[in-house]
């Protein structure tokens, strides 16, 4: 199980990230683009993910991942149950979500080519 605190510890190390509390939901973003957000009860973590790959991700582990609500299907977004994620998997999902929203130069400087 992962927590907001674990995600926060990672997110603050990613360049250009800021944390916001919006309508009782913790969100991490770069500029105005949210790349990770938690449900109010912190049982679900939403994260940026390529639209064309999300159906396969959800189908591969439906007990862990789910599609976002209908109003959010237009975004590059997927959701995961926090109780089903371990820390290495969370780290990979958060870093890849962050990489989607920062300029390539920024990602390369932080992560290498």
Please name which of 93, 82, 84, 94 lies closest in space to residue 40, comparing C-alpha atoms. 82
SS3 47: strand
- pLDDT tens for each residue of 76-106: 999 999 999 999 999 999 999 999 999 999 9
Q: What is the pTM of this model?
A: 0.94
| pLDDT value for 111 | 85
Give the model confidence (pLDDT) of 23-53 as tens digits: 999 999 999 999 999 999 999 999 999 999 9
What b/e sequence results for 66-93 when a residue is b if at least 16 CB atoms lie within 10 Å of its CB, and e otherwise?
A: bebeeeeeeebbbbbbbeebeeeebbeb
pLDDT exceeds cutoff 70 at 113: no
Q: What is the mean pLDDT of residues 50-72?
A: 96
């Amino acid at each position: 199980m992962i927590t907001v605190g674990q995600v926060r510890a990672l997110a603050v190390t990613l360049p250009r990230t800021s944390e916001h509390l919006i309508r009782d939901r913790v969100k991490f973003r770069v500029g105005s683009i949210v790349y990770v957000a938690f449900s109010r009860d912190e049982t679900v973590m939403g994260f940026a993910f390529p639209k064309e790959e999300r159906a396969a991700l959800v189908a591969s582990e439906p007990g862990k991942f789910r599609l976002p609500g209908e109003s959010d299907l237009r975004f590059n977004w997927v959701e995961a149950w926090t109780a089903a994620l371990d820390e290495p998997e969370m780290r990979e999902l958060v870093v890849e979500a962050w990489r989607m929203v920062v300029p390539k130069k920024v990602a390369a400087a932080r992560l290498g080519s």
